[in-house]
Amino acid sequence: MAAMILADDPIFGRFCYGGTWQQSGNTNQVVPLDGVRRQFHAMLDAGNLHLVLDNDHFAASQALAVKDDLSRVSFVVETANTASHGTALRFAVSIAGTYTVSDGGGVVATATLAAGEEATFSLPLAAGGASQTFVIAR
């Protein structure tokens, strides 16, 4: 399966596969270019972060924004499903901590993770097939 990968390479520096990337201060903006748009992996000097959607997609024209220290990632999920539903997001990070998932309506879920532990969150998507912005923060 195709994926977007933002990585710190020891020779070439920061590089993005499967998307376009630009840095704005301490935040990386990654716009997906792969057709599937279900996986994002950040493998930076600070640690690793993995986002995998089981259904639905990261929005084609919207950047995923991830902080250099992996303390915050924001992204837009789009769906073709017109019914109200939850989409599963598998989240793993190499930095232990309490992570809060929120959308425009407030906190969706909270999980305390050990380094390298994975959690699965159900992201709520409204009826009508609209896109929804989510933020995961430590």
The string over 58-81, giving b where at least 16 C-beta atoms fall within 10 Å of a residue's C-beta and e elsewhere, is bbeebbbebbbebbbbbbbbbbee
The answer to whether 70 and 42 are in contact (CB under 8 A) is yes
The reported pLDDT for the residue numbered 129 is: 76
Q: Domain extents for the chain? A: 4-137
Q: Which band of pLDDT confidence, cut at 50, 70 and 90, is reported for residue 1?
A: low
> pLDDT, tens digit, for every residue of 72-116?
999 999 999 999 999 999 999 999 999 999 999 999 999 999 999
Reference 64, options 42, 45, 89; nearest CA is: 42
Q: Does 38 score more than 80 pLDDT?
A: yes
pTM value?
A: 0.94
